[in-house]
Structure 1
Amino acid sequence: MPGTEDLLVEADRLAVELDRADPPTLLDVRWRLAGPPGRDDYAAGHLPGAVFVDLDTALCGPPGYAGRHPLPDPAALQAALRAAGVRAGHPVVVYDGGDGMAAARAWWTLRWAGHRPVRLLHGGFPAWLAAGLPTSTAEPAPAPGDVQVRPGALPVLDAGEAARLAAADEGVLLDVRAAPRYRGETEPIDPVAGHVPGAVNLPAGEYVVEGRFPAADALRERFAAAGVADGVPVGAYCGSGVTAAQAVLALHVAGRPDAALYVGSWSNWVADPSRPVATGATPAG
């Protein structure tokens, strides 16, 4: 896919890069919302040289009022990335179990932290296996990295900013959860069902299929149908900022590197009972 070389890497291309004298740093971030832990998958087999990094404890802050996957403490994130061998200016590749969500949040977190040379293995671990490439159960001990975490390199939204964007005549706040959650018909995780008033529903399955992104033109068309026109401010949220990070990556592929992430997402929005909640199939409810 032309124009995505600094965002996504295919398995066969990555295999060539890993055979070089100074290969990219590999981070295995496999994760499931309801478990079991991704480390179990990592122990059973991973890309040779990959270091496991836990999404919940290393790449996000503790759950609470700010959401289930809030921004990490910069010092703690820097320590975790250095322990994983991340070096300043050195390429990083992240991968997950194939749906691309945890890897996208890892990609977003590193770029937010100021580390630009990071890509996502397109299709994740299943794509590596499908290409017939080798795996390992050996756990590497990387030399400590020297990455410097400098927060703020990607735009974020807090609840007030998300509300203003959703209400703006010239702006779009995308809710990328499944339609029944958006409509308020069901809420399997958070205590309140519904959506941010004014947010437009664009479920993740409509622009990412099995962790793989369509070509940039197709993504632009899909986002345009949801109201994301050129020059119109755009942000995304989900339940806790993981699937929405994948939406931000898709927007980058589509040529919108200004897309903002509401990190706290719905889990932060409903933490304050005074915030309004819309239900139904339309943005206004």
Structure 2
Amino acid sequence: MLDRTKDISVAAQAWLDEFRDALGKPEPAAALDLLFLPDSFWRDVLALSWNLQTLAGRSAIAQALAALASGAAPTHFEIAPNRAPPRWVTRAGTSNIEAIFNFETALGRGSGILRLVPDSTDGDRLKAWTLLTALDELKGFEEQLGTSRPRGQAYSRDFRGPNWLDQRNTSRDYADRDPAVLVVGGGQAGLAIAARLKQLKVDTLIVIARRGSATIGASAITRSPCTTRCRSITCPTCRSRRTGRSISPRTSSPTGSKPMSMPWS
């Protein structure tokens, strides 16, 4: 039995390589059938099927993967380098090798979890007991994390250009374009999905029914990188809740006795 981390990782990567090669064949069903246990499960979260689905049984899984392989074009199956390495674990009373991996499709990048169990009817060959494939991001709409996080410097440092409020008003007018996604309803779910899409730079418009009126109103979801009172005269976030006026920066008076408002307030 494999007991060293290096050997376990090699075995898990070997299965992923076989899986990749099988998906790339003109008729992949037969090759895929050899990689799964008779009582196996595959859970897909948008990665290959653009759906949330769970399939049970080797034949059903092989047929579904064969039908989706050409369109999704999955490739680059590799053990995730920054996650827990493949190891022996016990899940639902079954001892198995659990491996976390990354992969790509024609339209996105994803991650998954593979659990391998020796097949006693096939010379203890490692076969998939459970397989999870999940879409993490779309190509061209990558997560804005770390150094790519929006910080608002484009309008906070360039006083000649439009400020945050100008950009917000232009964005929600939709005078020269149509939204890529239309969300019906501005409840918690609608706001959450619209904000998430906006973060991924997908132009999104929420359509809501205004309270007390039969007309339909539209509201574009925008965001400000300012999450604190930055006291910038161009930041509409920094407004007085009582008066609605911009909060003026404060500085010391020439005598140092008390603070005074700047002239532009």
**What TM-score do you get using the length of structure 2 for normalisation?**
0.21
Q: Could you say which structure has the higher helix fraction?
A: 1
TM-score normalised by length of structure 1 = 0.20
Q: Which structure carries more relative contact order (alpha carbon 8 Å, separation 6+)? A: 1
Larger radius of gyration between Structure 1 and Structure 2: 2
- Higher strand residue share: 2
